[in-house]
Amino acid sequence: MNLIEFHENLREHLLSVVDERSKNPDEEFPSEELVYAELVMDDINQAGISETPTVCHWVGNVGNAKLRISGFSVSDDETRIDLFLTHYIGSDQLQQLKDSEIKLAAKQTVNFALSCARGKLLPKLDPTSQVVELVELLQNRWGDLDQFRIFVITDGQTKSKRLKPQEIEGRLVQVEMMDIERLLRHSTGKPRDEIIVDFQSVLGRPLACVHVPDPELDYEYALAAIPGEIIRALYERYNTLLLEANVRSFLGARGRVNKGVAETLLKEPGNFMAFNNGLVIVCDEAELVRLDDGTSGISVITGLQIVNGGQTTSSIYFAKRDNKAIDLSRVMVPAKIVILKEGSETNREGLISSISKFANSQNAVKTSDLSANKPFHIQLEKLANETWCPDGVGRWFYERAAGSYQVLMLREGRTRAQKRQLTEMVPVRRKLTKNDVAKYHESWRKLPMQVALGGEKNFVAFMAAIDDNPSLIQDPLDANWYKRLIAKVILFKSIERMIKRKEAKSIFRQGYVNIAAYTVSVVADRLGKRVDLTKIWQRQSLSPEFEKLLWEWAVKVNDVFIRVGGGRQFSEVAKQRETWVHVSAVEFVITDENISELDVIDSSYR
Q: Is residue 407 domain-shared with residue 483, that is, in the same domain?
A: yes
Peptide bond just before 123 cis, omega within 30 deg: no
pLDDT at 480 over 70: yes
Q: Are 338 and 280 in contact (CB under 8 A)?
A: yes
Q: Are 278 and 489 in contact (CB under 8 A)?
A: no
Q: Is residue 176 domain-shared with residue 235, that is, in the same domain?
A: no
Q: Using one digit for the tens of pLDDT, what is the confidence trace for 411-453?
A: 777 677 777 788 889 888 899 988 899 999 999 999 999 999 8
Q: If you average pLDDT over residues 529-548, what whole number do you get? A: 93
CB count within 10 Å of CB 268 equals 13
State the amino acid at position 564 in one-letter form: V
Helix (H, G, I), strand (E, B), or coil: what is residue 475? coil
pLDDT band at 130 (very low <50, low <70, confident <90, very high): confident
pLDDT band at 603 (very low <50, low <70, confident <90, very high): very low
SS3 readout for 16-67: HHHHHHHCCCCCCCCCHHHHHHHHHHHHHHHCCCCCCCEEEEEEEEECCEEE
Q: Are 86 and 33 in contact (CB under 8 A)?
A: yes
Domain that holds residue 577: 375-598
| Structural domain contains residue 102 | yes
Q: Is residue 380 domain-shared with residue 359, that is, in the same domain?
A: no
pLDDT at 213 over 50: yes
Q: Is residue 451 domain-shared with residue 594, that is, in the same domain?
A: yes
Confidence at residue 244, expressed as pLDDT on a 0 to 100 scale: 56
Q: What is the per-residue DSSP string for 102-150?
A: HHHHHHHHHHHHHHHHTTSSGGGS-TT-TTHHHHHHHHHHGGG--EEEE
Relative orientation angle of helices 544-565 and 512-527, to the nearest 10 degrees: 120
CB count within 10 Å of CB 251 equals 20
Task: Report the percentage of the chain scoring pLDDT > 70.
Answer: 87
Confidence at residue 120, expressed as pLDDT on a 0 to 100 scale: 92
Q: If you average pLDDT over residues 588-602, what whole number do you get? A: 80
Q: Is residue 410 domain-shared with residue 480, that is, in the same domain?
A: yes
pLDDT band at 263 (very low <50, low <70, confident <90, very high): confident
Domain end point (choices 138, 170, 188) = 188
pLDDT at 471 over 90: no
Q: What's the angle, vertex CA 566, arms to CA 563 and CA 572, rounded to 5?
A: 100
- State how many domains the chain has: 3
Q: Is residue 253 domain-shared with residue 161, that is, in the same domain?
A: no
Model-level pTM?
Answer: 0.69
Q: Is residue 257 domain-shared with residue 301, that is, in the same domain?
A: yes
Among 30-39, 313-322, 543-552, name the most confident range.
543-552
| Structural domain contains residue 79 | yes
Q: Is residue 38 domain-shared with residue 100, that is, in the same domain?
A: yes
SS3 readout for 339-407: EECCCCHHHHHHHHHHHHHHHCHHHCCCHHHCCCCCHHHHHHHHHHHHCECCCCCCECEEECCCCHHHH
User: How long a stretch of residues is the chain?
Assistant: 606
Strand partners, 211: 222
Q: Is residue 197 domain-shared with residue 181, that is, in the same domain?
A: no
What's the CA gap between 568 and 123, in Å, rounded?
Answer: 18
| Structural domain contains residue 604 | no
Higher-confidence residue of 291 and 365: namely: 291
Domain end point (choices 332, 365, 398) = 365
| Structural domain contains residue 605 | no
Q: Is residue 335 domain-shared with residue 401, that is, in the same domain?
A: no
Task: Report the percentage of the chain scoring pLDDT > 90.
Answer: 40
| Structural domain contains residue 132 | yes
Domain end point (choices 143, 161, 188) = 188
SS3 readout for 523-544: HHHHHHHHCCHHHHHHHCCCCH
Confidence at residue 249, expressed as pLDDT on a 0 to 100 scale: 39
Question: Average pLDDT of the chain?
Answer: 84
pLDDT at 200 over 80: yes
Strand partners, 58: 69
Q: Using one digit for the tens of pLDDT, what is the confidence trace for 27-47?
A: 666 788 988 998 898 888 777
Residue 43 sits at φ, ψ, to 5 deg, of -65, -45
Strand partners, 226: 333
Confidence at residue 247, expressed as pLDDT on a 0 to 100 scale: 43
Q: Is residue 416 domain-shared with residue 515, that is, in the same domain?
A: yes
**pLDDT-wise least confident of 163-167, 288-292, 317-321:** 163-167
Higher-confidence residue of 234 and 447: namely: 447
State the amino acid at position 406 in one-letter form: Q
pLDDT at 338 over 60: yes
Q: What is the per-residue DSSP string for 301-341?
A: EES-EEEE-HHHHHHHHHHHHH-TT--GGG-EEEEEEEEEP
| Structural domain contains residue 45 | yes
Cα dihedral angle (432, 438, 439, 444), rounded to 10 degrees? 120
Q: Are 272 and 331 in contact (CB under 8 A)?
A: yes
State the amino acid at position 233 in one-letter form: A
Nearest to 151 by CA among 238, 83, 197, 237: 83
Nearest to 159 by CA among 105, 95, 99, 89: 99
Q: Using one digit for the tens of pLDDT, what is the confidence trace for 358-382?
A: 655 544 333 333 466 678 888 999 9
| Structural domain contains residue 11 | yes
pLDDT band at 16 (very low <50, low <70, confident <90, very high): confident
| Structural domain contains residue 350 | yes
Q: Is residue 443 domain-shared with residue 541, that is, in the same domain?
A: yes
Confidence at residue 5, expressed as pLDDT on a 0 to 100 scale: 85
Q: Are 550 and 519 in contact (CB under 8 A)?
A: yes
